[in-house]
């Protein structure tokens, strides 16, 4: 059976999973800062480790690791990441 779980937001990603950022639903100033850090629509984001006690989670984007609070991660919406090596149409 094919893998059908599609995380909806960064908060839904499990450690090691990747997806493509689709949109950011936050105020303009916060969205701008996240984009400066590499969270651009269309970029690949991977979930890394979580701070002890369920604190912020670390995400890898554009070669950088960034810790985000759960409230912020829940506002970054994803689209499924195509499998590695899959050709996409231009």
- How confident is the model over 69-90, as a mean pLDDT? 75
Instruction: From residue 13, give the alpha-carbon distance in Å to each of 59, 77, 88.
Output: 10, 11, 22
Angstrom distance (rounded) from CA 56 to CA 1: 33
Query: Which domains are delineated in the chain?
Result: 10-80 (2.30.30.90)
In residues, how long is the chain?
90
Rounded to whole angstroms, the Cα distance separating 21 from 41 reads: 5
Please give the helix or strand (H or E) that residue 66 lies within, else none.
strand 64-68
Residue with tokens 């604190």: 55
- Full-model pTM: 0.79
- How does pLDDT run across 3-62, given as a tens digit for each residue? 455 679 999 999 999 999 999 999 999 999 999 999 999 999 999 988 777 779 999 998
pLDDT of amino acid 39: 96
């Amino acid at each position: 059976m094919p893998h059908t779980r599609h995380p909806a937001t960064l908060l839904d990603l499990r450690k090691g999973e990747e997806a493509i950022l689709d949109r950011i639903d936050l105020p303009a100033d916060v969205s701008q800062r996240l984009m400066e850090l590499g969270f651009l629509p269309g970029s690949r984001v991977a979930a890394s480790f979580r701070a002890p006690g369920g604190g912020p989670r670390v995400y890898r984007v554009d070669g950088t690791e960034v810790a985000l609070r759960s409230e912020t991660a829940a506002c970054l919406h994803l689209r499924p990441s195509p499998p590695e090596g899959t050709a996409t149409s231009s």
